[in-house]
Structure 1
């Protein structure tokens, strides 16, 4: 049989398929339980606004027709809302799609992208798939080190990816730091500013990338309707860039890459400011619930400005994750991001947050019991091993007499305590 791995491009063979958050249906099949809550994929717990669902219903009669491949109405709406010139916009099947379009235009063998440690997994995916080099800069306090990033830029660098806020850590770059970085970056190096969670940020020093694109021709800002607007299932996002860059991206964009229902939904979602603000309010209150609970449980966490919180379990997070699954609560383990002791938790509705907190407390208790039980078994096994063979013979004499007294009692007490 043909070895298809040998036929594939080298960059492809280095990749692993993207693993999304576990679907509710999958957990139902695996454990046979119902009443499951999913806090794994940073989705809006309120879902889309009612005007969005109505707009989708209005598209059903037109399903036999292709959508507007130019996304004319959506670009016009973005201009009215944010002052973005339509020629600067590239619309995609989620912001993942436009991130890949940027990479397809500007990356290839002999070129490189630079990313931060603990940054969104799609950046390495699109880089390596094109045979380009990936340079990873160590994080500072789980955030991007812009000074080290700047120092790493070489003649081969074509793209620097910056997630602001960063997923999965929730950290962010302030305006002055970003401006200083943009001023120093060579003009032939593109800076991709991923603002998937921008709507949730209330920090006064948070930079709005859409306001900066006009001043930096090498800046590309990506946004999505999947998070604060609640349209994750429809897959629609966009990039804003210099018109020449947008033109190049649209040359490699697939025809009709965004469906008609997605376009209609995004169009009206931009107008429903009340739903957006309610989503932000629910998120802010839920964030406080989770951080307060972590403080009470003695758990560390990374301060987040997104719609998720990354919690430090203080140990391997997988047993805690599995305990939560058994309780019908799906969160996100992030060992793939180099954070094996952490879990990322999406902010949910108040009742979902409370259920997570209660389940987390039980899962932590269960994982501690298992760890102690494992320690006891390991210690017991080591004692048995020590008592076997030549060591047991040595103990058969005077040393066995020593153990028969107070030391044997102490050893027995230690084993009970470890249990």
Structure 2
């Protein structure tokens, strides 16, 4: 008997998440110096990790022989102070993705449905499928979540509704009022998951804590991977009602978050200078790339996160061409966006290098992969 005959049927249908291509892979494949490869594929902070976080992580290494605090006591209390909530209202995960999987395991059964945008963060869909439930993907005109259509898609089978703001990969955001209107329309047996992975890049982010306090079934997820630059530590968190967070803590694995990551996250929360500098560099980079794409006549989707969605002739081919030039971006075929790539906002020098590369491509034989015209405008 084969293993495929032993596993749950859902596993055989489960799509595989494709992460951004690592620098080392591209270096080996094309014979390039890894130090000269520019990675603009995974929305990582181009300034690197929070210096305070790295310093704390180094200090914590001395205690590596000890198991971590399985309850993340210090981190939950620090977050509770930051958000004016109770420690019991937080759960800490191995990245916010783990929490999304836990929510699906806790809330979804085969036959249940979860509503999301057709180009929402793909981890939503993967988590729902893994639980044996059905993702209901609502079309996104102009690369934006249609909140009215999402509310209309809710049926008696719906158990979860997902909304990221800003969304990866489209970068769209929604006002506090619009989000509240959507939540108010949801039945009491539907849980609303609000993904705030890029919230720190916004000048003013929506605040759903008042709705949680009123008893609405709202869960908010955040991460230390983006503006704090701690992606390698895999650390995220969710906040919501103490009742639901307690249920999630029942089913998460013991010691799911390592001690080094906990120490780094605790310190990073105090690194206001790094957060402010990262936001400023991102705003400047957004303006730099916007001017570049307009000058080259490339269509793109404006974003309030740390990336831009760029339209090309063929996303997979554009991805391959840029790799040969030592630049990694993200093709989006898995999102049904075969003629788009996602470009992370880099530093001024990194953005300039991308621009020089695109200008060079525009004048050469590879131009048809990117441009409808063979010369830059």
Shorter-chain TM-score above 0.5: yes
- Deviation (angstroms), 1:134: 1.3
- Deviation (angstroms), 1:184: 1.0
**Is the Cα contact below 8 Å between 1:118 and 1:142 reproduced in 2?**
yes
2:358 maps to 360
Mapping 1:136-155, distance limit 5 Å? 136-155=137-156
Mapping 1:397-416, distance limit 5 Å? none
User: Residue 343 of structure 1: which of 323, 341, 352 is its match?
Assistant: 341
**Is the Cα contact below 8 Å between 1:39 and 1:345 reproduced in 2?**
yes
1:46 maps to 47
Q: Summarize deviations over 1:189-242 as a string: whole Å, max 9, x none.
A: 00000000000012x5x4123454323430000000000000000000000011
Which whole-Å CA distance do the structure 2 matches of 1:214 and 1:358 have between them?
51
Q: Which has the larger radius of gyration?
A: 1
**Pairing 1:91–2:89 present:** no
Mapping 1:160-309, distance limit 5 Å? 160-202=161-203, 206-210=205-209, 212-309=211-308
- Deviation (angstroms), 1:54: 1.1
Secondary structure of 1:58 counterpart: helix
**Is the Cα contact below 8 Å between 1:324 and 1:330 reproduced in 2?**
yes
Q: Summarize deviations over 1:323-377 as a string: whole Å, max 9, x none.
A: 21011000101111111111101111111111111112333444655679xxxxx
**Structure 2 residues not aligned, in runs of 5+:** 371-377
Which whole-Å CA distance do the structure 1 matches of 2:190 and 2:168 have between them?
23
**Pairing 1:25–2:39 present:** no
Q: Summarize deviations over 1:122-159 as a string: whole Å, max 9, x none.
A: 11111111111111111121111111111111111111
**Is the Cα contact below 8 Å between 1:321 and 1:333 reproduced in 2?**
yes
1:7 maps to 6
Secondary structure of 1:220 counterpart: strand
User: Residue 330 of structure 2: which of 326, 329, 332 is its match?
Assistant: 332
Q: 1:304 to 1:3 in 2, by over 3 A?
A: same
Q: Summarize deviations over 1:262-289 as a string: whole Å, max 9, x none.
A: 1001101011111100000010000101
* Total equivalences in the alignment: 368
Moved segments of 4+, more than 6 Å: none
**Is the Cα contact below 8 Å between 2:307 and 2:345 reproduced in 1?**
yes
Structure with the higher helix share, 1 or 2: 1
Secondary structure of 1:141 counterpart: helix
Which whole-Å CA distance do the structure 1 matches of 2:214 and 2:40 have between them?
38
Which whole-Å CA distance do the structure 2 matches of 1:300 and 1:371 have between them?
14
**Is the Cα contact below 8 Å between 1:319 and 1:367 reproduced in 2?**
no
Q: 1:140 to 1:215 in 2, by over 3 A?
A: farther
Which whole-Å CA distance do the structure 2 matches of 1:371 and 1:200 have between them?
32
RMSD: 1.5
Secondary structure of 1:25 counterpart: helix
Mapping 1:116-127, distance limit 5 Å? 116-127=117-128
Which whole-Å CA distance do the structure 2 matches of 1:312 and 1:371 have between them?
11
**Is the Cα contact below 8 Å between 1:213 and 1:240 reproduced in 2?**
no
2:373 maps to none
Question: What's the TM-score, normalizing by structure 2?
Answer: 0.94
